[in-house]
Structure 1
Amino acid sequence: MMLPKLLSVFFLPLVCVHFLVLDGTNAQALQVGFYKSKCPSFEAIVRNTTASFISRAPSLAPALLRMHFHDCFVRGCDGSVLINTTSSNQAEKDAIPNQTLRGFHVIDAVKSAVEKQCPDLVSCADIVALVARDAVTLINGPSWSVPLGRRDGRVSRSSEALANLPPPFANITQLKASFRSKGLNDTDLAVLSGGHTIGISHCASFSNRLYNFTGRGDTDPSLDPNYIVQLKRKCSPTDATSIVEMDPGSAKIFDTSYYTIVKKRRGLFEADAALLNDNVTSAYVQQQANSSGTNFFNDFAVSMVKMGNIGVLTGNRGEIRKICSVIN
């Protein structure tokens, strides 16, 4: 995930989205400013620590955004993706879809800084959510108010990551079912897919579309033939290490150009191409491909808040981990 060195950073006005999800057991909701009275410096600590990493390695921004998505889609947004494997349990972190996740050291650094100021108070799950927002904003992407008050889960299983994370080869039916099972609608699917406007992918995630789509040595007919020629120059059939921008020519900028390439049948993954196979998602692609991006930023903010509320633990459920990678 290659992003440019930032020469300047601006912050967009916060999109205030009041989306509160009740916890079935404790009837408590996430709240913007949850730590304001007990740890007023919390959000500034997170922002400043995150900025110290993004300023040196902007490529961490899409990685941290992806981490938040991978956390929320397995057991909800409970920080379970951060837990290390033990001798008796293989954790989410070691599932195949998560083996390319990066940025755990950023979460650890933020947690350490927060613990020094406000010990035993802030969950790792809240830190993941807030870091993802700050990382996107720091590369001049959208910003949003993050409801807080999550608690950390105590369970992390690699098998559940495999079962819950939509793969890059998912078709539109599978994608819609996956998102709907998490309380997200078809528009959220189209919007959050737009996160592919930044970052990179390894050739192995899409090379079957170039060389052996149906097992007969053929190519994916939904992929622009001219783009296939370009991709073959970068990825050999057995290449597992080379990387390709998900949004060629604009992979360092958070904008709507992702939708333009999807419209042109140049989406890198089958899951990108699948957006054209549904009335709702296709209409959103067409709209944003002809847009200046303002609506996309607002839409992305709304959908990120919704995603950040998936299956949250609040009240007395879960725990506040002292170290994010280890259950208390």
Structure 2
Amino acid sequence: MSFLRFIVVVLFLVSVFGSSNAQLSATFYATTCPNVTDIVRGVMVQTQSTDVRAGAKIIRLHFHDCFVNGCDGSLLLDNATGIESEKAAPANVGAGGFDIVDDIKTALENVCPGVVSCADILALASEIGVALVGGPSWQVLLGRRDSLTANRSGALTDIPSPFESLDQMRQQFGNKDMDSTDIVALSGAHTFGRARCGTFEQRLFNFSSSGSPDPTINSTFLPTLQGICPQGGNNGATFTNLDRSTPDNFDNNYFTNLQNQEGLLQTDQELFSSPGSDTIAIVNRYASSQTQFFTDFASSMIKLGNISPLTGTNGEIRTNCRRVN
């Protein structure tokens, strides 16, 4: 192959495989809203001071948004003519953090009206929320635009539920070009935040219609969970910590919890308790090295934020994240 032909082939491959991210840039708002990061951080710092779950709420919204139609802010839309909100899908019912997004949007509109997208707010606030509680920082690429519609049916099928098998999770992550490392690293976001009883109580009494608890739950941890979420109790509004040891810090204790069979959700514990799975070695690696976890988590978050963004003239920049302009 001639050198000239080689260059042409390389440029072609770059144009094909790099096109989805070509317009995302860490300096996208350098001239149009140079203080965007400081403004988002200011709101997150204030919110975090009164709500320790702020970062966990935002990163969940970002993840759920990106897994449905890409990172386009579609999750933030309320019901409207022609729009069936994704908020009504089971994976999103009761999700918090929408008010935080509203506050950030208001602050940005006061300084840079009509410039910063809601999709970019989720990406930026996720990084800041993690860093504020001891987690890693990463370079957030920006330039996403907001969708003009929502996809409730996609929210029903594309977002992993806490009741799924590891094979089901592999399929859903694989659909987004994510592998086992991404599954384990991003699951590590459960090192902070809370979960309702309804997301795990099926493990406590009658797992898989067996009449018995999930055998992968530590026998000393089980009574604690059964006390928090009693069988037949009204547990709809009851929350407990995803990480029982350091629930409000971003660290690698989530992975030592899995080693001790103290993962809260079925999808958590299966990462370590599925015989022969390649995820076991990854859990062990992160449990022994917080540095490695932080490095891989940052990489996976960048990868997550690059899922099918709207760029250029696609979509719009919403002035209110809950509705199209």
> Is the shorter-chain TM-score for this pair beyond 0.5, marking a shared fold?
yes
Query: Across the two proteins, how many residue pairs are aligned to each other?
Result: 306
SS at match of 2:207: coil
Counterparts of 1:126-165 in structure 2 under 5 Å? 126-165=120-159
Report if aligned partners of 1:21, 1:30 keep a CA contact under 8 Å in 2: no
Report if aligned partners of 2:285, 2:292 keep a CA contact under 8 Å in 1: no
The worse-fitting range, judged by mean Cα deviation, of 298-307 and 240-249 is 240-249
SS at match of 1:161: helix
User: Cα offset for 1:298?
Assistant: 1.4
The answer to which structure has the higher helix fraction is 2
Counterparts of 1:1-328 in structure 2 under 5 Å? 22-23=18-19, 28-86=22-80, 88-238=82-232, 239-276=235-272, 277=274, 279-291=277-289, 293-328=290-325
Report if aligned partners of 1:23, 1:312 keep a CA contact under 8 Å in 2: no
User: Cα offset for 1:216?
Assistant: 4.2
Task: Name the Cα RMSD after superposition.
Answer: 1.7
Distance of 2:51 and 2:236 partners within structure 1? 23
Distance of 2:288 and 2:124 partners within structure 1? 30
Unaligned runs of 5+ in 1: 1-19
Report if aligned partners of 1:49, 1:109 keep a CA contact under 8 Å in 2: yes
Distance of 2:193 and 2:33 partners within structure 1? 33
> 4+ residue stretches of structure 1 with deviation over 6 A?
none
Amino acid aligned to 1:301:
A
Scaled by the length of structure 1, the TM-score of the pair is: 0.89
Report if aligned partners of 2:134, 2:251 keep a CA contact under 8 Å in 1: no
The corresponding residue for 2:4 is: none
User: Cα offset for 1:159?
Assistant: 2.0
Scaled by the length of structure 2, the TM-score of the pair is: 0.90
SS at match of 1:225: coil
Distance of 1:79 and 1:22 partners within structure 2? 22
The corresponding residue for 1:3 is: none
- Offset from partner CA, 1:85-111 (integer Å, 9 cap, x none): 125542101211111211111111111
Please say which structure displays the higher CA radius of gyration. 2
User: Cα offset for 1:151?
Assistant: 0.5
- Offset from partner CA, 1:258-278 (integer Å, 9 cap, x none): 001111221111111211225
Amino acid aligned to 2:280:
S
Identity of aligned residues (%): 39
Report if aligned partners of 1:23, 1:314 keep a CA contact under 8 Å in 2: no
- Offset from partner CA, 1:49-94 (integer Å, 9 cap, x none): 2211112222211111111111111111100110001255421012
Amino acid aligned to 1:180:
G
Report if aligned partners of 2:77, 2:85 keep a CA contact under 8 Å in 1: yes
Unaligned runs of 5+ in 2: 1-15
SS at match of 1:201: strand
Report if aligned partners of 1:125, 1:150 keep a CA contact under 8 Å in 2: yes
